[in-house]
Structure 1
Amino acid sequence: MRMSRKIVAVLAAVAVAVLLPSPAQAHGQLAFSDPVDRSTLTEPRESVRLVFTEKPNPAAYFTVKAPDGTRVDHGWSGGEPKPLPSPVQELTLRDGNWEPQLYKTGFPAVIPVSHWPQTGVYTITYLSVASDSDKVSGEIRFDYQGKITAAPAGWQPPTNQPDPLLLGQTAPPQQPAASGNSVTVSATAPAEPDSPTWPYWALAGLVAAVAVGGVLVHRRRTAR
């Protein structure tokens, strides 16, 4: 009986470990956005901003889409690094161990918006690669309820696609971003594979099935 309980406990622990993200996936992420996610914007503006804990990769890819899916972005540029409103904790690899590190400086990506053709929910998407080769991606959605503005003369929605470097999670060389908090990123951090040979969800399902089977067998033996 004790042995069965130990087996079930070990299997459950393995399942949890499989489902938890790798610490390496926590580096170089979005600190905050302007406008913030799920907020309402009531005035048109010339650009939106995404602020990261390190300088965005030169090949980073950003889009801003109107409610009907039309893109209204046109390029992006890096803004002046500034202190974050509140420090962001991430994990840094030091001497083979993942240690918590507070990041106090934010590095903006400024994305110009050509015009505001509709009211409704706009979506900002971002795709980049951190300096340790981890993928950085996500989206911000906000409700625009401001004045409708016309497109610039000769405007054509952009059709560019992400750089293959981003899709392959291979970061081109870049200079370390200057920071006032003396935070450095280890160059020895291992790159995470884009898609593991054995999918995590399948492995977790197998472990869970084995655990459930062990419990059922134990109950049948006890019932006897």
Structure 2
Amino acid sequence: MYRKIAAVLAAVALAVLLPSPAQAHGQLAFSDPVDRSTLTEPRESVRLVFTEKANTAAYFTVKAPDGTRVDHGWSGGEPKPLASPVQELTLRDGNWEPQLYKIGFPTVIPVSHWPQTGVYTITYQSVASDGDKVSGEVRFDYQGKITAAPAGWQPPTNQPDPILLGQTTAPQQPAGSGGATSGAVAGPAAPDSPTWPYWALAGLVAAVVLGGVLVHRRGAPRRR
């Protein structure tokens, strides 16, 4: 009996610690250059293609091997059909259901110059239309011609918008529509009112119950 209880609690703890299915929403479909590929010619921009339009507050960087940023701004490209549809999970009537996304929404990031050969890193942070965070990086090896920085070039120093760090509420946009709608932005949470993530509370409850079961089992008299 005690083993069954322990097994159930372990399953509950595992379930609450696993990422939510919603985290698969609005993710990167593919990139150009492809992750871990080699680029042999300089180009004016790189592209990231998502299953929905990037949030207006999205943050993108392109860094040279020495960490210097060579990006300057970003813009949304024309939506195009994906060569391979991407499956994500969508919440409908309280259930997570698979849905195929056949249209890709490009984000074009201009590259100022190519100062070195080696591994370049593209990073992205955004918020999906349902509020899920979208973030990651793409790394590729540049082995092309070294190009000089434009006259008066200064590496950008902008930082992610507070909404990408969970400090405010992101404006929402219709999933896969390519258009953004305005939304109210909430102020920062009060520093004196911390909240616990639901998975931490569930894990704590499971640990307490499991500890009580083990103590009760040790204290129970053995039958002969």
Give the TM-score of the pair, scaled to structure 2.
Answer: 0.80
The answer as to whether partners of 2:38 and 2:141 remain within 8 angstroms in 1 is: yes
Amino acid aligned to 1:138: G
For this pair of structures, how many residues does the alignment match? 208
Q: Give 2:123's aligned amino acid.
A: T
Q: Say if 1:196 and 1:97 are closer, same or farther in 2 by CA, change over 3 A.
A: farther
Q: Distance in 2 between matches of 1:44 and 1:38?
A: 17
**Counterpart contact for 1:135–1:169, Cα < 8 Å:** no
Say yes or no: does 1:45 pair with 2:50: no
Q: Which residue of 2 aligns with 1:25?
A: 23
User: Residues 178 and 203 of structure 1: is their aligned pair in 2 closer, same or farther, counting only changes over 3 Å?
Assistant: closer
Q: Distance in 2 between matches of 1:157 and 1:63?
A: 11
Alignment of 1:4-83 (within 5 A): 4-83=2-81
Structure 1 residues 113-141: Cα deviation after superposition (integer angstroms, max 9, x where no partner): 00010111111110111111111111111
Runs of 4+ in 1 over 4 A off after TM superposition: 198-222
CA distance, structure 2, for counterparts of residue 149 and residue 111 of structure 1: 17
Q: Which sections of structure 1, spanning at least 5 residues, go unmatched?
A: 180-194
Distance 1:52 1:216 in 2: 51
Conserved? CA contact 1:121–1:144, under 8 Å: yes
In structure 2, the CA distance between the partners of 1:116 and 1:201, relative to structure 1 (3 Å rule), is: farther
| Contact 2:130/2:172 (<8 A) preserved | no
C-alpha spacing 1:210/1:175, structure 2 compared with 1 (3 Å): closer
Correspondence list, 1:43-192, <5 A:
43-167=41-165, 168=167, 170-174=169-173, 177-178=176-177
Distance 1:35 1:196 in 2: 40
Identity of aligned residues (%): 79
User: Per-residue deviation at 1:157?
Assistant: 0.4
Counterpart amino acid of residue 129 in structure 2: S
Q: Secondary structure at the match of 2:114?
A: coil
How far residue 162 of structure 1 moved from its aligned partner, in angstroms, is: 1.3
TM-score by structure 1 length? 0.80
Structure 2 contact 64–120 (Cα < 8 Å) conserved: yes
* 1:183 alignment partner in structure 2: none
Work out the CA distance in 2 between the residues paired with 1:69 and 1:206. Answer: 43
Equivalent residues of 1:61, 1:126 under 8 A apart: yes
What is aligned with 2:182?
A: none
SS at match of 1:117: coil
- Match in the other structure for 2:191: none
Offset, 1:26: 1.6
8 A Cα contact 2:129 2:174, kept in partner: no
CA displacement at 1:5 relative to structure 2? 2.1
Structure 2 gaps of 5+ residues are 179-193
**Whole-Å Cα distance in 1 between the matches of residues 71 and 110 of structure 2?**
6
